[in-house]
C-alpha cells in the first residue's frame, strides 16, 4: 500500500488483533483483548495518530495462525519481519452493535490527532552537486540544505526530471523516503523523525542514461519550487574536455563536502541553475603508428644500356593487422612480392603506388620485393645518374643500399640523402640512411670511365 492512500480490507473475524508499535525505545507489540458477546458487532479501525503516517504493520491473529492484514512499503523494500517500520501511535473505535461476521481495518495518512499545532513547512533549497560519467550514464551526487521559512512539520517533497533514477537518499534523522514517478517528473517524498527542525541536510544520488558521452551534460538536482543557483563540479573522463559557458561564474568558495569530492580530472567548480547544460567535447588525439620498418635492405644492379634491377628486403614490426603503402617511380615494374613467406599480389593504387596487407599478430614480418626501373643509358666516358628507393609513411629505423655500377665505370662522387656505409661488406657501392619516413632514399652518383 502506498503512503497517502486509505484502503479497507475485510478479513474473517478473530478474537485478538495486534498492532506493532515503534517509538524511540524500539518496537513492541500491543495485544488488546476483544471480548465479543453473542450477537454483538465489532468494527475496530486503526488510524494514524501522526500526520506523517510512518509505515504500519497490523496483524490479526486467531491462535495459532497469524495473518498480515496491511502494510506500506518502505522506499522500495518490503517488510522484512514483523515489528519493522511500525506505526508510532494508534487508537481503536468500536461503534454500534448488531450482527457481523468480519472485522474491517483501515490504514492511511490521516490529519494529526496529537499535534494540532503542526503546519506544513515551506522549504527553500541550497544545493551543490558533482557529476561523473560511468557505465553509459551520468551519475549525480548531491548535498542539499533545506531551510524551512515557515511551518513546523517534518515532511518535504522534492522534484526531479522524469528520466532520472533515484539511487540513494540519506540524511540525519531521515525516517523514510519514497520516489514516485509522474508523467513529467519524479516526486521524492521525505519524512523526518522529528518535526520543527528549521534546517535539514540531505544527500541524494541520482543517475540518468547518457549513451553519447560527447554531448551536452544536463545539470540535474532535486528541487523545491523554482530552480535555485547551485555549486557544480564535473569529473571529465580522459580524452574529453568540458567548456563551462561564461554565464556560469566560478564558485567563490567550496564547502568541506565539495572539497572532499575533487579529483585530478575535475573541471573548475562553478555556479549554475539546475536544468542548464554543459558542453563536453572530445580532445584531439594523436594517431599511433600501427607498424614500423625495423630494417630495409636494397641491392641494385645497374645496366649500361639503362635500367636498374633491385631486390628489397623489409623487416616490419606490426602490432595488429594493417596495410602499408609503398611509392615507387611511375615506370617501376613489380616482378615478385612475398609477405611473411607467402606470395601476395599488391594492390595497384596508381601513379606508382602499391599497397601490401600485413597479417595480424605476426611480430616482425618479412616483406621481399623484386622490381625494375627504367634509366637513361650510361655515357661510356662520364656522367651522373639519379637513383631512388620506395617511399613509405612508416618510420624506417635503418636502410642499407648496395649499388653495382656497369662494368668499366667507377664512382667519382655522390650526393643525395644517403651517406657512405663504412660498415658494409666488399663489392659495389654501399650507402646508409637512418630514421626517416615519408621520404625516398636518394643517391645521385657521379661516374667516370675506369682508368686502367
The residue-averaged pLDDT of 412-424 equals 88
Residues 347-392: pLDDT tens digits?
A: 999 999 999 999 976 679 999 999 999 999 999 999 999 999 999 9
Read off the pTM.
0.49
In whole numbers, what is the pLDDT of the chain averaged over residues? 76
The residue-averaged pLDDT of 15-31 equals 40
Residues 77-88: pLDDT tens digits?
A: 222 222 323 222
Residues 94-130: pLDDT tens digits?
A: 333 333 223 333 333 333 334 457 889 999 999 999 9
Beginning with the edge strand found earlier in the chain, give each strand of the sheet holding 270-273 in spatial order: 164-170, 199-209, 137-150, 122-134, 229-235, 270-273
d(CA 332, CA 390): 10
Residues 312-342: pLDDT tens digits?
A: 999 999 888 899 999 999 999 999 999 999 9
Q: What percent of the chain has pLDDT over 90?
A: 50
pLDDT of residue 225: 81
Please say if the pLDDT value at position 191 is more than 50.
Answer: yes
First to last CA, the chain: 114
In 255-346, at which residue ranges do the beta strands (DSSP E only) sit?
A: 270-273, 277-282, 291-302, 308-318, 322-327, 333-339, 342-343
Helix, strand, coil in percent for the chain, rounding step 5: 0, 50, 45
Please say if the pLDDT value at position 208 is more than 50.
Answer: yes
Q: What percent of the chain has pLDDT over 70?
A: 72
What length does the chain have? Answer: 452
What grid cell was written down for 243? 567548456
Amino acid at each position: 500500500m502506498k503512503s497517502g492512500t486509505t484502503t479497507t480490507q475485510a478479513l474473517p473475524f478473530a478474537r485478538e488483533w495486534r498492532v506493532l508499535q515503534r517509538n524511540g525505545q524500539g518496537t513492541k507489540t500491543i495485544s488488546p483483548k476483544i471480548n465479543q458477546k453473542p450477537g454483538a458487532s465489532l468494527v475496530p479501525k486503526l488510524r494514524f495518530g501522526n500526520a506523517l503516517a510512518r509505515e504500519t504493520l497490523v496483524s490479526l491473529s486467531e491462535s495459532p495462525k497469524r495473518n498480515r492484514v496491511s502494510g506500506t512499503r518502505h522506499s522500495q523494500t518490503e517488510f522484512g519481519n514483523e515489528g519493522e517500520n511500525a506505526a508510532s501511535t494508534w487508537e481503536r473505535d468500536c461503534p454500534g452493535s448488531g450482527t457481523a461476521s468480519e472485522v474491517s481495518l483501515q490504514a492511511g495518512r490521516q490529519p494529526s490527532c496529537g499535534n494540532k499545532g503542526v503546519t506544513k513547512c515551506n522549504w527553500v533549497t541550497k544545493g551543490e552537486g558533482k557529476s561523473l560519467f560511468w557505465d553509459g550514464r551520468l551519475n549525480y551526487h548531491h548535498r542539499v540544505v533545506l531551510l524551512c521559512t515557515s511551518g513546523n512539520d517534518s515532511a518535504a517533497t522534492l522534484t526531479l526530471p522524469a528520466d532520472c533514477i533515484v539511487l540513494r537518499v540519506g540524511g540525519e534523522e531521515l525516517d523514510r523516503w519514497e520516489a514516485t514517478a509522474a508523467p513529467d517528473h519524479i516526486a521524492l517524498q521525505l519524512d523526518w523523525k522529528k518535526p520543527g527542525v528549521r534546517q535539514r541536510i540531505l544527500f541524494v544520488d541520482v543517475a540518468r542514461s547518457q549513451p553519447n558521452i560527447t554531448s551536452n551534460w544536463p545539470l540535474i538536482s532535486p528541487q523545491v519550487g523554482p530552480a535555485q543557483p547551485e555549486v557544480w563540479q564535473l569529473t571529465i573522463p580522459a580524452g574529453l574536455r568540458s567548456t563551462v559557458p561564461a554565464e556560469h561564474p566560478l564558485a567563490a568558495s567550496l564547502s568541506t563536502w565539495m572539497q572532499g569530492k575533487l579529483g585530478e580530472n575535475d573541471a573548475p567548480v562553478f555556479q549554475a541553475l539546475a536544468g542548464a547544460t554543459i558542453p563536453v567535447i572530445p580532445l584531439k588525439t594523436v594517431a599511433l603508428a600501427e607498424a614500423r620498418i625495423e630494417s630495409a635492405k636494397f641491392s641494385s644492379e645497374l645496366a649500361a644500356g639503362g635500367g636498374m634491377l633491385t631486390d628489397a628486403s623489409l623487416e616490419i614490426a606490426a602490432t595488429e593487422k594493417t596495410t602499408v603503402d609503398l611509392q615507387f617511380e611511375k615506370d617501376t615494374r613489380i616482378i615478385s612480392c612475398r609477405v611473411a613467406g607467402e606470395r601476395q599480389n599488391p594492390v595497384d593504387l596508381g601513379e606508382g603506388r602499391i599497397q601490401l596487407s600485413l597479417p595480424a599478430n605476426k611480430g616482425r614480418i618479412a616483406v621481399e620485393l623484386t622490381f625494375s626501373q627504367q634509366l637513361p643509358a650510361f655515357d661510356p666516358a662520364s656522367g651522373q645518374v639519379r637513383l631512388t628507393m620506395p617511399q613509405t609513411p612508416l618510420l624506417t629505423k635503418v636502410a642499407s643500399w648496395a649499388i653495382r655500377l656497369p662494368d668499366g665505370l667507377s664512382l667519382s662522387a655522390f650526393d643525395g640523402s644517403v651517406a657512405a656505409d663504412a660498415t658494409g661488406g666488399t663489392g659495389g657501392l654501399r650507402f646508409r640512411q637512418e630514421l626517416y619516413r615519408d621520404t625516398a632514399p636518394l643517391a645521385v652518383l657521379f661516374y667516370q670511365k675506369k682508368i686502367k
